[in-house]
Structure 1
């Protein structure tokens, strides 16, 4: 699912926005998970679409994963990242 080389694992130096967008794609691929994202973040689909380039929205996406470890781990595996890299990306986006 990653757009770059399959041999390169993302790490803390990875672009946090790219990791958040990959994570968002993973979240939106499952309807129930997507609905839970919207319910727990207070966003609606229009807000999410409009905020796709906003660091706060991307941080909220990663925060959603951070708050539910099974999703964090599942997403990390699916996008070939580590859970630590996703948490680090969230922290960078909230600065």
Structure 2
């Protein structure tokens, strides 16, 4: 699910992380505030690697969110960090 042809599906994890972040209004507002994105900006740039990396970086900035999101989407926190690193490369 998180690998495509043996390669990490970083974008897929970013989309799942975004869905998780948006499930709670306060967390969604914090995501927008800390990333500097607006709802419109997020919608228009979600396919960009930089936006996807920002979503995962948002999780990294608060370890409880990183751990909770990883548990919900079925990956390790380290894999989310690796996905962010790949998106920034």
User: Which stretches of structure 1, 4 residues or longer, exceed 2 Å deviation after superposition?
Assistant: 10-14
Equivalent residue number for residue 62 of structure 1: 56
| CA RMSD, 1 decimal | 1.5
Give me the TM-score of the superposition, normalised by structure 2: 0.92
| TM-score, L = length of structure 1 | 0.87
Higher helix fraction (1 or 2): 2
Q: Any stretches of 5+ residues in structure 2 without a counterpart? A: none
How far does the alpha carbon of each residue in 1:8-51 deviate from its partner, in whole angstroms, 9 at most, with x for none?
xx479430000000000000011100000000011100000001
Q: Is residue 44 of structure 1 aligned with residue 38 of structure 2?
A: yes
Greater strand percent: which structure? 2
> Who is 2:67 aligned against?
73
Unaligned segments of structure 1, at least 5 residues: 5-9
